[in-house]
Structure 1
Amino acid sequence: MTYPLILLASSVLLIAFFIEYLGRTFRFPSVVALIVVGIVGQLVMNYFDLELKGLKLLVPILGTLGLILIVLEGAADIELRRERLALIIDASIIAFGGILCCVAIYALLAMSVLGLALFQAVTLAVPFAVISSAVAIPSSSFLPAHDREFVVYETSISDVLGVLIFFSLLHSDGSPVGVLTGLLGGGILSLLTSIVCALGLVLLLMRISGQVRFIPLLAGLFGLYAIGELMHISSLIMVLLFGLALNNPQLITRIPFLSHWIDESYDTTLDEFKMILIELTFAIRGFFFILLGFSTKLEAIFSWSAWFAAMLILSVIYSSRYLLLKLRNHTQVDALTWLAPRGLITILLYLSAKEVWPLPEFLDGTVVIVVLTSSLLILQASRKTRNHETDAINTTTGADAPRTPEIRIP
């Protein structure tokens, strides 16, 4: 059994690489193809009456590790400057407003259709209200640099807020006071703990030496994340701060007694660390989405109830997002509206809710449909961006521009 498993793992990685390559070349979301490959693999295994055990345990683990790495990778590419403050505030408003609108509408639907109590309905609504940074950040490469940064901030903040709100609800007594106490206390504790942990990890990277450097550092990060989650602290804040501090060491060296900790080799060390992140993120992300497709119950996907619920959820996602972006006067409203995929966070939080309360089986299919459809709709965002760029070129070379046979506008 050892060699077949090695062959299977190798095949999964090679298929994931091929899909990622095609996704970059033809600009389609690789998440959809990865999940479809998993579903096809499930059909093949069923045909030959084969079984792959341990998926229920493996999928959440891979999903959590993938989330950590993707948020870290995205944050480690951001340069913090004073002029970024307006962008961060804007991203925070959109992220919080999107969660608030979606949760309010989803909770009303869950109460009326599923007959859930208000507390249960609000808790179940949160997973569907959170944008997945695991899908959005890699899929935003077609956007201009400013809008890519907006996506990184917004989706990371959405993840952090979603996790914090969800677990504050899940672990409270259900009363408004209990939820508010858990939310505010958890938020402050998360921020303080995250600052200390992120500072320690960055200082470790600055001074670490030897051939084995990055795996122990990542092991420490994963361990701290797990401890934080066990204590119901939003550890994604730590991951976000760690990534920001990595790419902005001046935040650390401004502290007087740490001003000499960084040396001329830091930039090289950081580049090497980023390469490790990219490789690990690719591997874990590929495994997760293929195994997610493999473990999906096909009968749930083909349920009319699942499709109806998914269409309601998707209509709320994009209508509320369009209005929020329009109110904030974004220049890329048409493109950013469609860049709101659900993914890792939605799946992980939904599974957590399902462990606490019995939920209808069709919701399993609804989650997969929402993830697949919202990922596919990123293609619409890419098309809108190309149309926007073409309109800009046509405006520049309009009626007042000299017309020559050599100039062709695509």
Structure 2
Amino acid sequence: MIYSAILIAALTLLLSFIIERLSGALRFPAVAALIIAGIVGNPLLASLGITLFGLDQVVPVIGTLGLVLIVLDGALDIKLTRPALRAASMAFASALAGFVACLLFFASLAMALLDLDGFQACLLAVPFAVISSAVAIPSSQGLDAKTREFVVYESSLSDIVGVLVFFALASSDGSLVDITRQLAGGGAISLILSVCCALALAYALMSIEGQVRHLPALAALFALYAIGKIYHFSPLLMVLLFGLAMNNPGWMTRLPFRREGISSEYPATLDSFKSLATELTFAVRGFFFILLGYWTDLAALANPYAWLAAIVILTIIYTSRYSLLRVMKMESRDMLLWVAPRGLITVLLFINARQLIHVPDYLNGAVLIVVIASALMVMLSRPATAQQGT
């Protein structure tokens, strides 16, 4: 049994690597390919008498690790300049406005069609209102630097806003006053703690010498993230700030407690840390989406109501995004229109929502259809994107 588990884990990693390479060559979204591989793998393993147990606990854990690593990996590619800060403010406005618009649309539909009250409808709507950085950031690789920065900021901030709102709702008593209190208090505390923890971690990694330092730093990052989640803060903001601090050490020297210059060895340290983050991101992301496919109930995918719900959800997503980008007069709106995928964060929040309220079974299938279809929309827009980005 032990060696079978090792074999399955190793083959899953190798399969993820092959799928990632082939997806890049064939211009097919890796997320969709990984999920399909998991769906196909379920009956294949069953025919060999192999069944994977405990996925209800394993999939959310792997997904959370993947979310942290993907946001970190994206932030480690961003250089903070004045134009970049302006782009970040635009991205925050876009992320917030897009989230609110989708939340209102989806909550209204849930109240009208599923007989949910306003509180329950908002809980169910949040997962579908969030842009997934787990899909958006890797999908932005072919874009020009300016547009890629916008995608990294927008998707990461959308994740942060979505997580903050969802757990403010989940922790409240359902009244507007308590939801506002949870949101305002949690947001302020999250921001303060995130800045402090991110700077402390970055300072520690810059100062510690020795060969073993990257994994302990990541372990501390995961530990702080878990503590933040336990107390219903939004520690994803800390992850984003930590990555930005690491890739922009010049900003650290402006702080009162960090007046000395950056070591000449720091660029090599940063490169090795980036390499480790990229490798771990690949592994965790591959495991998550393959296991998600394996975990999927095929009967839910075959339900016509699941497809109808997915079509309605996707229509709202892209209609609201098109309107928003036009109102904001974004220069790259033709590129950005389709870069609004749902993915890892959607699945994780939906799993949490399903534990708090009763939802129709067909929505389980609708979630996966939305994830795959939105990833495909990014892929289908890539020829035009690549042409404009060159």
Work out whether the TM-score is over 0.5: yes
Alpha-carbon distance in structure 2 between the residues aligned to 1:305 and 1:181: 37
Which letter maps to 2:302? Answer: F
Alpha-carbon distance in structure 2 between the residues aligned to 1:28 and 1:243: 28
Maintained 8 Å contact 2:144/2:389: no
> What is aligned with 1:192?
192
Maintained 8 Å contact 1:336/1:381: no
Secondary structure of 2:105's counterpart equals: helix
Alignment of 1:305-316 (within 5 A): 305-316=305-316
Which letter maps to 1:315? Answer: T
Alpha-carbon distance in structure 1 between the residues aligned to 2:142 and 2:130: 22
Q: Deviations over 1:188-237 (max 9, x none)?
A: 00001111111110011011122211111111100000000000010001
Q: How many Å apart are 1:72 and its aligned residue?
A: 0.5
> What is aligned with 2:18?
18
Maintained 8 Å contact 1:165/1:183: yes
Alpha-carbon distance in structure 2 between the residues aligned to 1:51 and 1:385: 42
Alpha-carbon distance in structure 2 between the residues aligned to 1:237 and 1:251: 18
| TM superposition score normalised by structure 2 | 0.97
Supply the RMSD in Å over aligned alpha carbons. Answer: 1.3
Maintained 8 Å contact 1:74/1:152: yes
Maintained 8 Å contact 1:338/1:378: yes
Alignment of 1:39-118 (within 5 A): 39-118=39-118
Q: How many Å apart are 1:253 and its aligned residue?
A: 1.1
Q: What are the ranges of 5 or more consecutive residues in structure 2 without an aligned counterpart?
A: none
Alpha-carbon distance in structure 1 between the residues aligned to 2:48 and 2:360: 30
Structure 1 range deviating more: 153-162 or 46-55:
46-55
Q: How many Å apart are 1:388 and its aligned residue?
A: 4.0
Alpha-carbon distance in structure 2 between the residues aligned to 1:373 and 1:389: 23
Structure 1 range deviating more: 19-28 or 307-316:
19-28
Alpha-carbon distance in structure 2 between the residues aligned to 1:47 and 1:78: 46
Secondary structure of 1:258's counterpart equals: coil
> What is aligned with 2:177?
177
Q: How many Å apart are 1:387 and its aligned residue?
A: 5.1
Q: Deviations over 1:96-132 (max 9, x none)?
A: 1111111111011101111000110011101001000
Which letter maps to 2:19? Answer: I
Secondary structure of 2:61's counterpart equals: helix
Which letter maps to 1:370? Answer: V
Alpha-carbon distance in structure 2 between the residues aligned to 1:15 and 1:197: 36
**Distance change >3 Å, CA 389–CA 193, structure 1 → 2:** closer
Which letter maps to 1:181? Answer: R
User: Structure 1 residue runs of 4+, over 6 Å off?
Assistant: none
Which letter maps to 2:316? Answer: V
Alpha-carbon distance in structure 2 between the residues aligned to 1:171 and 1:270: 38
**Distance change >3 Å, CA 9–CA 90, structure 1 → 2:** same
Alpha-carbon distance in structure 1 between the residues aligned to 2:59 and 2:348: 9
Maintained 8 Å contact 2:143/2:389: no
Alignment size in residue pairs: 390
> What is aligned with 1:304?
304
Alpha-carbon distance in structure 2 between the residues aligned to 1:279 and 1:257: 32
Maintained 8 Å contact 1:63/1:288: yes
**Distance change >3 Å, CA 110–CA 3, structure 1 → 2:** same
Q: Deviations over 1:106-163 (max 9, x none)?
A: 0111011110001100111010010000111001112111100110010001000000
Maintained 8 Å contact 2:165/2:183: yes
Alignment of 1:158-237 (within 5 A): 158-237=158-237
Alpha-carbon distance in structure 1 between the residues aligned to 2:46 and 2:215: 37
Percentage of matched positions with identical amino acids:
52
Maintained 8 Å contact 2:250/2:262: no
Alignment of 1:251-266 (within 5 A): 251-260=251-260, 262-266=262-266
Maintained 8 Å contact 2:201/2:217: yes
Which letter maps to 2:185? Answer: G
Secondary structure of 1:211's counterpart equals: coil
Q: Deviations over 1:53-106 (max 9, x none)?
A: 111111001100000001011111111112223211111111011111111110
Q: How many Å apart are 1:175 and its aligned residue?
A: 0.9
Structure 1 range deviating more: 325-334 or 358-367:
325-334
Q: Deviations over 1:304-333 (max 9, x none)?
A: 111111100000000111111112222322
Q: What are the ranges of 5 or more consecutive residues in structure 1 without an aligned counterpart?
A: 391-410
Q: How many Å apart are 1:261 and its aligned residue?
A: 6.2
| 2:33 corresponds to 1:38 | no
Which letter maps to 1:200? Answer: A
**Distance change >3 Å, CA 386–CA 282, structure 1 → 2:** closer
Secondary structure of 1:256's counterpart equals: coil
Alpha-carbon distance in structure 2 between the residues aligned to 1:237 and 1:293: 29
Alpha-carbon distance in structure 1 between the residues aligned to 2:146 and 2:261: 31
